[in-house]
């Protein structure tokens, strides 16, 4: 059997996302979820997770593009009130070296502290819009990884031939290189699911399974309704709903069995 960690991002970012993630977890396929703590929805989301009979592992979905900074305003990343500007400005600002590392480090640690205050010790860490591998932010994340060697970190990668795919791959390679230069041992798995969905989700999932070559992390963004999608993971609302439909289908479960895939947690893979 090949162990695959199906990890659903964006928990705590809205009721329709939470519902989609929890329904996906109820199938037994999604066994890890990533919680965002900058939007104010984390407490309600965790209460729903706690009611599940076989609750998934929970990680920190670090955000520098959504919600409000927990540590206060950050130059280049937030407005004066501390609200994050969003993906385009965050990517440009970090590439230009505008945010101060000490301010970014405070924010990463504040988000981790918030998660722990809710009673969660994270199994993994990744970033909304993959912000954890952006310049400057990645240095704060890698310092945390040095202190928490059991933490699984996502290294984004995409087979997609596009500007987005090329950017993801470049950021992922730079993250690995930065870790190596700093002497930080990354605990990670090959990353699947970051190519933008096109057409039927079952067909896309089938193609992904055909590329599978050993244990991996499969990134998901299931959504239960049409009202909450900001392009996270390269998916619009319709594609994210289709993703949930496939995860709940007998056809996908049969497909996993045919390929010898065992849905797992990070500690098992």
Computed over every residue of the chain, the mean pLDDT equals 94
Domain count, the chain: 1
Note whether residue 169 is domain-resident: yes
Contact 196, 234 (CB under 8 A): yes
150 has pLDDT over 70? yes
Tell me how crowded residue 39 is: count the other CB atoms within 10 A of its CB.
17
Instruction: Determine the average pLDDT of the residues in 163-179.
Output: 95
Instruction: Determine the average pLDDT of the residues in 69-81.
Output: 99
103 has pLDDT over 50? yes
**What pLDDT score does 238 carry?**
87
pLDDT grade, residue 163 (50/70/90)? confident
CATH of the domain at 75: 3.20.20.370
Contact 229, 204 (CB under 8 A): no
**What pLDDT score does 237 carry?**
85
Per-residue DSSP letter, 13: S
229 has pLDDT over 70? no
In this prediction the pTM is: 0.94
Note down the domain range covering 99: 2-263
List, in sequence order, every residue forming a beta bridge with 59; answer none if it has no partner: 34
Total H helices, total E strands in the chain: 9, 8
Q: What share of the chain is helix, strand, coil (3-state, %, to 5)?
A: 45, 15, 40
Note whether residue 268 is domain-resident: no
**Both tokens assigned to 209:** 């399974």
CA distance 221 to 17: 8
Note whether residue 269 is domain-resident: no
The percent of residues in the chain predicted with pLDDT above 90, rounded, is 84
pLDDT grade, residue 231 (50/70/90)? very low
């Amino acid at each position: 059997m090949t162990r695959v960690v199906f990890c659903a991002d964006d928990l705590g970012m809205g009721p329709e996302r939470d519902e989609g993630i929890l329904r996906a977890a109820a199938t037994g396929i999604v066994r890890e979820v990533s919680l965002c703590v900058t939007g104010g929805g984390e407490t309600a989301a965790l209460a729903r997770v706690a009611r599940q009979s076989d609750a998934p592992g929970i990680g920190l979905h670090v955000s520098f593009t959504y919600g409000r900074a927990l540590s206060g305003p950050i130059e280049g990343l937030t407005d004066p009130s501390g609200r994050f500007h969003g993906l385009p400005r965050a990517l440009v600002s970090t590439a230009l070296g505008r945010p101060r590392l000490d301010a970014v480090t405070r924010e990463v640690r504040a988000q981790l502290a918030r998660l722990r205050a809710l009673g969660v010790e994270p199994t993994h860490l990744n970033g909304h819009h993959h912000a954890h591998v952006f310049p400057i932010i990645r240095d704060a994340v890698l310092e945390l990884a040095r202190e928490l060697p059991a933490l699984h970190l996502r290294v984004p990668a995409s087979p997609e031939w596009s500007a987005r795919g090329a950017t993801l791959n470049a950021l992922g390679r730079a993250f690995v290189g930065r870790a190596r230069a700093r002497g930080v041992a990354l605990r990670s798995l090959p990353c699947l699911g970051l190519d933008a969905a096109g057409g039927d989700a079952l067909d896309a999932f089938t193609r992904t399974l055909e590329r599978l070559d050993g244990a991996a992390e499969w990134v998901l963004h299931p959504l239960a309704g049409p009202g909450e999608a900001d392009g996270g993971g390269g998916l619009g609302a319709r594609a994210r709903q289709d993703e949930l439909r496939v995860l709940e289908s007998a056809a996908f479960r049969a497909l996993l069995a045919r390929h010898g895939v065992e849905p797992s947690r990070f500690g098992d893979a």
